[in-house]
Chain A
Amino acid sequence: MADPAVQLTLLDACCLLNLFATGRIDEFLAAVQGRFAAAERVGAEALYVRRGGDGEDADERDAVDIGPLVARGLLEVLAVETADEAASYVSFAAELDDGEAMTCALALHRGAIVATDDRKALRLLAARAPQIRVRSTAQLLKGWADSANLAPTELRAVLTSVRQRARFAPGRHDPLHSWWEAALRAP
């Protein structure tokens, strides 16, 4: 049974995809303090990453399968449980995709952190629920790299994998854009 006192982070689909693309999401979830979860609608979304690498199959797609992570207790899947959560979910769903909306609604009522890079979701949260803390993919990975003392070569490999397999890099206006780019150039 999850300890409600432990900080809960809800991974939006965009972050989940990016973390999966590291190839080391299980290590990340095991190493970083706190509970991690995905909203039920996020868990149900069909997500894929590129196989990546230098082989001819680099462009092949691999499905994101959270089943093993859930089975190992590293990731929870959470559903709307109360009338208030349902009302919030519907309210957010008028502006966001259902998975994003459910993530925000659950975070609002459970005091959770939202992990997302989505500009519209971030703007909506800032306007409607500024008390909700948010984390970006870059913040999550930097936190992990710092606490796990990842070697520069390891970190470079992780970020390269995210870029190649998930087609993601933080935008120019992201506060950690410079950190990300510098880490990619590290020898």
Chain B
Amino acid sequence: MEPDILQSIDPRELGRRLQEARKARGHTQQDAAERLGVARTTITAIEKGERRIQPTELMQLAAFYGRTVGELLRRGEPTEAFAVQLRATLPSGLPVDTEIAPFTWEFQRLCEDYLELERLCGAPLPRRYPPQYQIEGVAPEAAAEDVASAERNRLGLGDGPILNLRELLENDVGLRVFYLDLPSNVAAMFAYTEQLGGCIAVNRKHPEDRRRMSLGHDYAHFLTKRYLPEVAYLGRYHRQPEQERFADAFARVFLMPAAGLSRRFHELRRSRDGRVTPADLCTLAHFYFVSVEALTLRLEELRLLPLGTWDRLKQADFRVREAQAILKLPERQVADYMLPMRYLYLAAEAFQRGDLSEGQFARFLRVDRLEARRLADELASRKELSDEGTVQTLLLDLGGTLPERS
């Protein structure tokens, strides 16, 4: 005998999920009421948890809101709806609201799905969060140097390049980082709730060096203005507010710390008898995994290059990609998965254990079943070298318990 889920579920929790789903779709309560053939006050009562919804009503609303019935029935207090706060930060008077709105909701849903996977696997995301840094009254660029230095020390990074920024923020700090196909003029989104922690969505359509800057920028927000959500638009400000100057400066400093960059630049200049060429800038930018523009501007900022060097290079029609090709600098390996690797592995573990059905697994991964099967195989397989020197495929039990040391 199957349980009557609608009698046992908390109607206020369900009501909140219904309300969020309705708003995410841009529908009014009146729209929903007409859909069900009921009074608007009935929808109000359902969303407040004062009236239990009927199964056929739930089916109709799920279809109307573009959600699965299963999503709406998810247990547990719904997370704080940061999608609404994100949209509240958008510049007024510009036609951006409708463009970005679906992405804010999808960002929120991805974060909630991540939390659900952690609940299924009993694996909460470890957090190594510092207290918020206080930077009021300090010049943005100076504050960026201080905070970036403190973070590099805290995370044990030294003064070298950070090639795996995304993995660092996910694994060593405990942020949730997604790569989404956002509108081209959107660099990233940031939100924070106590339940979810810090969450960042970066534009997957941007080149990786731009994505890393966006990650650094939003990491700065997390470190100093954690409770203020943000949608970062490219070229949004003619005159940047101090907080934005700080965040941009932090990204540059965190990725290209002064001490290490200066030392390497001086070594380079000594080796070239005092001359530094555009080719050297390309090589150094590749080393730090940043754009040549960012590297050059950073060197100007550190007074290691004359101010205006980048502008002069652009005026001289310096072609970065051609230079990189001529120098045969190897492409950096970039894993631009939409979902964090940890998210993928948690989903695969839950699926392998039978705690997720195939359909649920595919939905968590945002793929169809065929692709879900491919990913399930890929995530559970490892290539191993046998004692005979042949490459074998090892199948892992992702949910298995490892023996403890006796």
Contact = CB atoms under 8 A, between A and B. Distances in A.
Interface string A97-119: 11111000000100000000011
Contact of B73 (A13, A88, A94): A94
A94 B5 contact: yes
Contacts of A83: 55-56
Contact of B357 (A50, A87, A90, A121): A121
Nearest to A82: B56
A46 B368 contact: yes
B69 A118 contact: no
A96 interface: yes
B368 A97 contact: no
A5 to B, nearest CB: 26
A93 B69 CA distance: 6
A89 B358 contact: no
B2 interface: yes
Nearest to A42: B359
A14 interface: yes
B68 A167 contact: no
A61 to B, nearest CB: 7
A184 B77 CA distance: 49
A80 B380 CA distance: 37
State the majority secondary structure of interface residues on B. helix
A80 to B, nearest CB: 7
A166 B376 CA distance: 13
A120 B2 contact: no
A93 B70 contact: yes
A14 B70 contact: no
User: How big is chain A's contact interface, by range?
Assistant: 35 or more
A171 to B, nearest CB: 10
State the majority secondary structure of interface residues on A. helix
Interface string B54-69: 1110110010000011
Nearest to B372: A167
A92 B2 contact: yes
Contacts of A99: 359
A129 interface: yes
A49 interface: yes
A161 to B, nearest CB: 14
A153 interface: no
Interface in A3-23: 13-14, 17
A89 B369 contact: no
B208 interface: no
B48 interface: no
Given A87-B4, A128-B1, A118 B73 contact: no
Contacts of A90: 5-6, 55, 58-59, 69, 73
A33 B203 CA distance: 53
A24 interface: no
B4 A91 contact: yes
Contacts of A91: 2-5
B363 interface: yes
B370 A166 contact: yes
Contacts of A167: 370, 373-374, 377
A5 B278 CA distance: 81
Given A118-B357, A120-B354, A123-B354, A93 B68 contact: yes
A100 B356 CA distance: 12
B73 A14 contact: no
A13 B55 contact: no
A90 B3 CA distance: 10
Given A87-B4, A100-B359, A118-B357, A61 B370 contact: yes
A86 interface: yes
Contact of A93 (B73, B363, B370): B73
Nearest to A59: B374
Nearest to A122: B354
Contacts of A45: 359, 369
B360 interface: yes
Contact of B370 (A17, A89, A119, A121): A17
Given A90-B69, A93-B69, A97-B357, 9 more contacts: A17-B369, A48-B370, A92-B2, A93-B68, A93-B70, A96-B360, A100-B357, A120-B360, A167-B377
The 3 closest A-B pairs by CB, nearest first: A97-B359, A119-B354, A93-B69
12 contacts: A45-B359, A94-B73, A95-B357, A96-B359, A97-B359, A99-B359, A118-B357, A118-B358, A119-B357, A120-B357, A129-B2, A167-B374
